[in-house]
Amino acid sequence: MQSKKVRNERYFFRIKRSINNTVLRKFIWGSIYSWYLLKHKSKYFKIFTHLTKIERLLLYKLALSLNNKSIIVEIGSYLGASTSFLACAAKEKNHTVYCIDTWENEGMSEGGRDTFDEFCKNTEPFKDFTIPLRGLSADIAKSFDKKIDLIFIDGDHSYEGVKTDVEFWLPKVKKGGILIFHDIGWAEGVSRVVNEYIKPIQIEEHIIDNTYWARVKK
């Protein structure tokens, strides 16, 4: 007969081993998957952006998690780096990515300039899955009549700017839809709006690098 102590020790050892195996499995599969993505999407990593590689892969993964033919909106497309990762998934799952920007470099530290030609050149491989809508996001919202599965907000980072984006676009997001905000780490406007408007309605939330994302109930 085994003593109770020995039986307990064996029992805890088995639990510990299975936890370790799960963690290890996740780590191994995560590494293989990241390596695969980095290798196959490497040309899109060359487009200039302030998003880290992990943040770009996150956009791709979240867009890939949607049902086929989903509607994606991006506010602040700039040179097309984040667009390309959303659009990689769009190409695989037949989504449509609506890209909204003035392409006048509003609020960018490098100063105003027309970035539209660069955006078009960089996103040329995805032109069947992306629709550029040029103008201020609040103006575009007034005539946008589709229900949104995922929205990436990376435009005007001031409190008033992010608040305006949320007020105009949140009502168009589907129940259970995904909202992603870049620059939560340094832009006070972004973190304030997330705290005031998104946290009270989120059912799942995460921060990865400088990016906050949430699934909302509404």
- Residue 130 as a binder of ligand SAM (CB under 6 A): the answer is no
- Residue 156 as a binder of ligand SAM (CB under 6 A): the answer is yes
- Residue 112 as a binder of ligand SAM (CB under 6 A): the answer is no
Helix H or strand E encompassing 213: strand 211-216
Q: What is the dihedral of CA 48, 44, 151, 101, to 10 degrees?
A: 50
Long-range contacts of residues 183-191, Cβ cutoff 8 Å, at least 24 apart: 183/50, 183/154, 183/157, 183/210, 184/210, 184/211, 184/212, 185/209, 185/210, 186/210, 187/157, 187/162, 188/159, 189/157, 189/158, 189/159, 189/160, 189/161, 189/162, 189/163, 190/157, 190/162
Q: Is the dihedral of CA 183, 185, 191, 195 positive or negative?
A: positive
Nearest to 108 by CA among 58, 177, 168, 158: 158
- Residue 104 as a binder of ligand SAM (CB under 6 A): the answer is yes
| Nearer Cβ to ligand SAM (162/198) | 162
- Residue 150 as a binder of ligand SAM (CB under 6 A): the answer is no
| Nearer Cβ to ligand SAM (31/90) | 90
In angstroms, what is the minimal distance from the CB of 35 to ligand SAM?
23
Cβ-contact 152, 70 below 8 angstroms: no
Q: What residues between 27 and 56 interact with ligand SAM by CB under 6 A?
A: 49-51
In angstroms, what is the minimal distance from the CB of 176 to ligand SAM?
24
Q: Compute the distance between CA of residue 86 and CA of residue 99 in angstroms, rounded to an integer.
A: 10
| Nearer Cβ to ligand SAM (111/200) | 111
Q: Which two tokens stand for residue 21?
A: 């195996």
Contact pick of 45, 91, 93, 106 for ligand SAM (by CB under 6 A): 106
- Residue 82 as a binder of ligand SAM (CB under 6 A): the answer is yes
In angstroms, what is the minimal distance from the CB of 182 to ligand SAM?
6
Q: Compute the distance between CA of residue 56 and CA of residue 89 in angstroms, rounded to an integer.
A: 12
In angstroms, what is the minimal distance from the CB of 187 to ligand SAM?
10
Q: Segment near ligand SAM (CB under 6 A), from 22-30, 38-46, 151-159, 209-217?
A: 151-159
- Residue 153 as a binder of ligand SAM (CB under 6 A): the answer is no
- Residue 107 as a binder of ligand SAM (CB under 6 A): the answer is yes
- Residue 108 as a binder of ligand SAM (CB under 6 A): the answer is yes
- Positions touching ligand SAM (CB under 6 A) are 49-51, 76-78, 81-82, 100-102, 104-108, 136-137, 154-156, 161
